[in-house]
Amino acid sequence: EETAARRDRYYSASQRKFVPFRDPMVFRRGEMQYLWDEKGRRYTDLLGMNVCISVGHSHPDVVKAAMDQAQELTHCTTMFYHPVPAHFAEELTATMPKGPNGDIEWVVHFTNSGSEAIDLAMAMARGYTGNLDLLALRTAYHGPTSAAQSVTGIAGWRHPGMPGNVAFVAEPNQYRGIFGRNAGAAPYLDEIERVIQTSTTGRVAGILVESVQGYGGIIEMPPGYMSGAAERIRAAGGLYIADEVQSGFGRTGEHMWGFESDGVIPDIVVMAKGISNGFPLGAVVARREIAEPMAEKFMFHTYGSNPTSCAAGRAVLQVLKRDRLQENAKQVGGALLKRLQELAQKYPAIGDVRGRGLMLAIEMVSDRGRMTPDADTTGVVFEACREAGLILSKSGPHRSCLRMVPPLCLSLADVDQVAEGLDRAFDKARK
């Protein structure tokens, strides 16, 4: 109560009001996929503290790497050389596809956050191509900075007066997209061409695509969409920008990066969140020739390449590989998806269940035939989940999706407990 009173008094409304739960929650401790509140009650974190916790809360290897670095030198601004970010840049580029001839050279620009990396990617694409117009998907979310908001299509997520030169294309939602259920990629690719012709100068700087949309309610890009979008955008002079802030670092189970599922090689890749398991860091990884012209103008991120965050990031890459967390995401995510599908058989309020790896969602509807989004029931289930010890998030443009993006160390034993908790929560919502 004391914390809530202090927060209410001293936070601005924009932060104060961002509390999805009925009662305030204070978490005091985390260990791997679990959180403990101030009363010592344990929760399973299916939100991954907003998708930041890739390898586990307070993972000992990540904590040690960051503590050792912080003790030696907490911050070293970009204008000085430091071995840790230099190593980390090398390691990040090594995760990128090399192309059919093995000759693609990648380079890294570290930022403090995902939205700063989005800003930078947008500036890079405009600078390199000389074109201003960008395409973005309607239900995409790319962050809170002005440039990132300018590529935000949902009005409720965007403040007035944001910069322009952005045209929106329909998201290829296979459940409730504008071309109907399971329409595949083709009509949405035609839509990209139409929008380029009708809503831009015909020459574009690029398109931003989340390989699996996060806040949009776990919208997977259907097969052929990412590669088809890249083809069409390149034909109009633009670049393909992959936003891997949520879908990267093995979360989708099949690959390190979400775009790999479609064989597309982006021109620019944006990453953050899971990159450093909760330490503030973002990065743009781009093809060398695309990043090079940025040097003509001043572009400096004070904390970008901070060695403490980068030390955490290096540890994340090691743990991901050593503990085979991508494979774990595939196996455990597959088992969880199956349990969610079983729940959908039992509860008509579940309109759709979707996702891959540990990036899953349940969409709630009041009428299955009409697919009427049901934010109210979503809210009831969400609260009941909390009572059952599960932390999820409400997402999607209608806030009718329960999103699950836990730390990648979630176990098969957790899946049983999560499915039982969800079952109890849905049962409660029915009554």
Choosing from 43, 106, 141, 168, the residue that interacts with ligand PMP (CB under 6 A) is 141
Q: Are 290 and 275 in contact (CB under 8 A)?
A: no
Closer to ligand PMP by CB, 344 or 402: give it: 402
- The single residue listed with the structure tokens 């809530």 is 4
Q: Is 245 in the site for ligand PMP (CB under 6 A)?
A: yes
Choosing from 95, 246, 306, 393, the residue that interacts with ligand PMP (CB under 6 A) is 246
Q: Is 119 in the site for ligand PMP (CB under 6 A)?
A: no
Q: Where are the alpha helices (DSSP H) in 73-113?
A: 83-94
**Within 73-112, which residues bind ligand PMP (CB under 6 A)?**
none
Element (H, E) at 109: strand 106-111
Closer to ligand PMP by CB, 117 or 425: give it: 117
Note every long-range contact of 65-70, with CB atoms under 8 Å and residues 24 or more positions apart, other chains counting: 65/311, 65/312, 65/314, 65/315, 66/279, 66/308, 66/309, 66/311, 66/312, 66/315, 68/311, 69/307, 69/308, 69/310, 69/311, 70/308
Q: Where are the alpha helices (DSSP H) in 266-390?
A: 288-291, 307-322, 325-346, 375-387
Q: Is 114 in the site for ligand PMP (CB under 6 A)?
A: yes
Closer to ligand PMP by CB, 114 or 406: give it: 114
Amino acid letter at 105?
E
Rounded distance, CA 344 to CA 359, Å?
Answer: 17
Element (H, E) at 227: helix 225-235
Question: Rounded to the nearest whole angstrom, what is the least distance from the CB of residue 45 to ligand PMP in the complex?
Answer: 16
Question: Rounded to the nearest whole angstrom, what is the least distance from the CB of residue 126 to ligand PMP in the complex?
Answer: 18
Radius of gyration of the chain (CA): 21
Closer to ligand PMP by CB, 118 or 380: give it: 118
Q: Is 143 in the site for ligand PMP (CB under 6 A)?
A: yes
Choosing from 33, 54, 69, 113, the residue that interacts with ligand PMP (CB under 6 A) is 113
Closer to ligand PMP by CB, 216 or 421: give it: 216
Q: Is 397 in the site for ligand PMP (CB under 6 A)?
A: no
**Within 180-239, which residues bind ligand PMP (CB under 6 A)?**
210, 214-215
Question: Rounded to the nearest whole angstrom, what is the least distance from the CB of residue 76 to ligand PMP in the complex?
Answer: 22
Lay out the site mask for ligand PMP across 266-285 (x = CB under 6 A, - = otherwise): ------x---------x---
3-state secondary structure of 169: strand
Closer to ligand PMP by CB, 15 or 341: give it: 15
Closest to 264 (Cα-Cα) out of 236, 244, 288: 244
Q: Is 115 in the site for ligand PMP (CB under 6 A)?
A: yes
Q: Is 301 in the site for ligand PMP (CB under 6 A)?
A: no
- Nearest residue to ligand PMP on Cβ basis: 114
**Percentage helix, strand, coil for the chain under 3-state DSSP, each rounded to 5:** 40, 20, 40
Q: With CB under 6 A, what is the number of residues at the site for ligand PMP?
A: 15
Rounded distance, CA 85 to CA 299, Å?
Answer: 18
Q: Is 252 in the site for ligand PMP (CB under 6 A)?
A: no
Amino acid letter at 69?
Q
Q: Which residues bind ligand PMP (CB under 6 A)?
A: 113-115, 118, 141-143, 210, 214-215, 243, 245-246, 272, 282
